[in-house]
Amino acid sequence: MVLYKEIAQDIRSKIINGTYPVGDPIPEQIKLAKDYNTSRVTIQKAIDILKSEGLIFSRPGSGTFVKKSANVFSSLDNDIDVYEGVTASFGSMGLITSEILNFSVRFPTDDEIENLLITKSTPVYDILRLRFLNNEPLILEYTIMPVYVIPNITEETLYGSIYSHIQQNLSLKIGLANRKIHADKPNTLDQKYLNCQLTDPILEVEQVVYLDTGTPFEYSKTRRRYDKGSILMIQKSK
């Protein structure tokens, strides 16, 4: 672990355990530098982390203070790991299983060409899975991935987590995700697999996920019943 992250962690725990009370200033940067036996620039890097987490804020000429909402966001440590996919997000809530409704390879549609930045002759996986939480149908997941970016997907992979295949078997790093969230009326597949009535709304998340190199690797749509969870997000200030 690097020094500035260790210092950030130490200050973070002092905020959470009340050593630095909400609304109060934390020690000035020069004092922190002496206390941690380091330079001021390193302290500033630690402070930058805590600012980006929404725990503290600085007023130039005045000091650096613990935010009143610090406790609310202390849960921000574990962020919202949508990256890790359904398996990790809901795994703690029970048993996740999958039924594979479709697994094929084909050429992409215009929509997919645009979103995945590929050509019309680039083969893609076309995957449709129904995911269960404790044997209750939870979400319908449509996934399109370019074959050359994420090779060697098998039915075996699909019963588990595609994301751990990417990170562990292929050693790729996941970068940004670009999401669009809509409400929609249930279509026939929703009604069949998610047990929807015509009056039960669907919450759909459409996303393009990128590797850290900027290569798009997944264009997916996940659909769930309106009463099976919502999407959380934290928008940071500029």
Partner DNA sequence: TAGTGGTCTAGACCACGGT
Partner DNA sequence: CCGTGGTCTAGACCACTAA
User: What tokens does 79 get?
Assistant: 């962020």
Report if residue 23 touches DNA, rule: CB under 7 A: no
Give exposure, 82-121, as e/b (b: 16+ Cβ within 10 Å). bbebbeeebeeeeebebeeeebeeeebeeebbebbebeee
**Given candidates 12, 53, 64, 158, which one binds DNA under the rule CB under 7 A?**
64
Closer residue to DNA, CB minimum distance, 35 or 136: 35
Which positions from 107 through 146 interact with its own copies, judged by CB under 8 A?
117
Distance of alpha carbon 210 from the chain centroid: 12
CB of 96 to its own copies, least distance (A): 21
> Mask: binding to its own copies, 83-112, rule CB under 8 A, as x and -?
x-----------------------------
Q: Which does 183 bind (CB under 5 to 8 A by kind): DNA, its own copies, none?
A: its own copies
**Given candidates 3, 16, 170, 189, which one binds DNA under the rule CB under 7 A?**
3
C-alpha to C-alpha distance for 222 and 209, rounded to whole angstroms = 13
CB of 37 to DNA, least distance (A): 7
Q: Which residues contact 192 (CB under 8 A, 6 or more apart)?
A: none
Closer residue to DNA, CB minimum distance, 30 or 93: 30
C-alpha to C-alpha distance for 41 and 32, rounded to whole angstroms = 11
Closer residue to its own copies, CB minimum distance, 54 or 103: 54
CB atoms near residue 20 (< 10 Å):
22
Decide: 235 and 152 in contact? Cβ < 8 Å: no
CB of 33 to DNA, least distance (A): 7
**Given candidates 42, 87, 91, 200, which one binds its own copies under the rule CB under 8 A?**
200
